Amino acid sequence: VEPEFKYVGNMHGNEVLGRELLLQLSEFLCEEYRRGNERITRLIQDTRIHIMPSMNPDGYEVAAKQGPDSNGYLTGRNNANGVDLNRNFPDLNTLMYYSREISGPNHHIPLPDNWKSQVEPETLAVIQWISSYNFVLSANLHGGAVVANYPYDKSQDQRFRSHRRTVNTPTPDDKLFQKLAKTYSYAHSWMHRGWNCGDYFADGITNGASWYSLSKGMQDFNYLYTNCFEITLELSCNKFPPEEDLERQWMANREALVAFIEEVHQGIKGMVSDENNNGIAGAVISVQGISHDITSGDMGDYFRLLLPGTYTVTASAEGYQPLTVTTTVGPAGPSLVHFQLKQEVVRKPAERKASGTRMNNKALKKVVPRATRRGTQR
């Protein structure tokens, strides 16, 4: 089973470079595959690549009518209803920060009951899309700066927002996110230099909340609701660059766009199955020391992005005994780790009585390990 990867462009309608780059990338991948390019052929055969060039076509049409010369900084940014789509996803950060205070989960956080009535059609379509596939890695493409931005985008203390005070707000996967962001910035022609558009970002990357805090963004939503690790790529100082600049921008981003897709192939992957080799959907994959779990897909397949190192990993599912293994991840590709879970056996009280053996609760727990009762919570 191949990991699912996605690129999303143009969620702000007037930030058009991402849209153009993703159209060009689609053509490039097809052409290179037909030419027999070994790297691209391997990438396409080993990865399911999803590309959405424009999440906000209505906003793009407004911006395109203005053209690159007279385009206002905000003209076409919002959708047809005047809503900023990157401030329109359910606010799971607030739920996560509350949950953290009571040692609750920060993954697969359930959506509010009335969430569908609070989002725009484009947002609804994207949430349904990302709920339909077990995406592993993603990037959404923006403009107005040149930097690779990683979660969290929203700081816990919003009082700092109006003062533009920087508050680094890392995820449990902070080192991994920094590596993902650097992969893009250093493969880009000049992003990694740091000085761009009058701003400086070391290595060309930034924690989102450290730059400025935003609520209800798509990047954090991916991490908190799904298995997907998403970063935000700011690709140009000019949100609507002229046509004659597109070839230069394509050459600056081409290697980075391909290299970032290749980052989906790291960490561990495998199948979670029962004793009859049937895949177990929604099994929880926990990594000791990283308080963020992922879950298996519909067929029992899972992909957990990890940096090189040695990890203790546990797979658990409702009704099964959890299984823990230790595995080493190398730099060359994902390690294959399969989990075959045994069904949890709980003897009924009548059976215990019939056997003539009296067992107290403490003794019973030693005989029957208690499975971790965590599901996808979707």
- The model's pLDDT over 248-290, given as tens digits with 9 standing for 90+, comes to 999 999 999 999 999 999 999 999 999 999 999 999 999 999 9
What domains are there in the chain, each with its CATH number? 4-263 (3.40.630.10), 268-343 (2.60.40.1120)
What was the pLDDT predicted at 372?
Answer: 35
SS3 4: strand
Sign (positive/negative) of CA torsion 255, 178, 155, 373? positive
SS3 98: helix
Dist. CA 191–CA 200, nearest whole Å: 10
Dist. CA 35–CA 31, nearest whole Å: 6
Label residue 68 by pLDDT band (50, 70, 90).
confident
What was the pLDDT predicted at 273?
Answer: 98
State the Cα angle at 69 between 240 and 123, rounded to 5°.
Answer: 35
Q: Which of 91-100, 232-241, 257-266, 342-351 has the lowest mean pLDDT?
A: 342-351
Instruction: Quote the DSSP letter at residue 356.
Output: T
Dist. CA 96–CA 105, nearest whole Å: 7
What was the pLDDT predicted at 164?
Answer: 53
Residue with the larger pLDDT of the pair 195 and 347: 195
Whether 234 is a known active-site residue: answer: yes
Per the listing, tokens 């658990």 go with 316
Instruction: Name the active-site residue from 4, 20, 234, 263.
Output: 234
What are the start-end ranges of the E strands in the chain?
Answer: 4-9, 48-52, 135-142, 145-150, 195-196, 199-200, 205-207, 229-236, 268-273, 284-287, 290-295, 301-304, 309-316, 323-329, 335-336, 339-340
Nearest Cα residue to 21 out of 263, 256, 262, 254 = 254
Question: pLDDT tens across 34-58, in order?
Answer: 999 999 999 999 999 999 999 999 9
Query: What are the backbone dihedrals phi and psi of residue 63, each rounded to the nearest 5 degrees, phi first?
Result: -65, -40
pTM of this prediction?
0.88
pLDDT at residue 165 above 90?
Answer: no
pLDDT at residue 378 above 70?
Answer: no
What was the pLDDT predicted at 366?
Answer: 36
pLDDT at residue 246 above 90?
Answer: yes
Dist. CA 369–CA 51, nearest whole Å: 44
What was the pLDDT predicted at 98?
Answer: 83
Q: DSSP string covering 291-337, please? A: EEEEE--TTSEEEE---SEEEEEEEE-TTB--EEEEEEE-SSSPEE-
What was the pLDDT predicted at 4?
Answer: 97
State the Cα angle at 11 between 96 and 257, rounded to 5°.
Answer: 90
Name the burial class of residue 3, with classes exposed (0-12), middle (13-18) and buried (19+) by CB atoms within 10 angstroms of its CB. buried
CA 196 remoteness from chain centre: 26
Nearest Cα residue to 90 out of 110, 113, 115 = 115
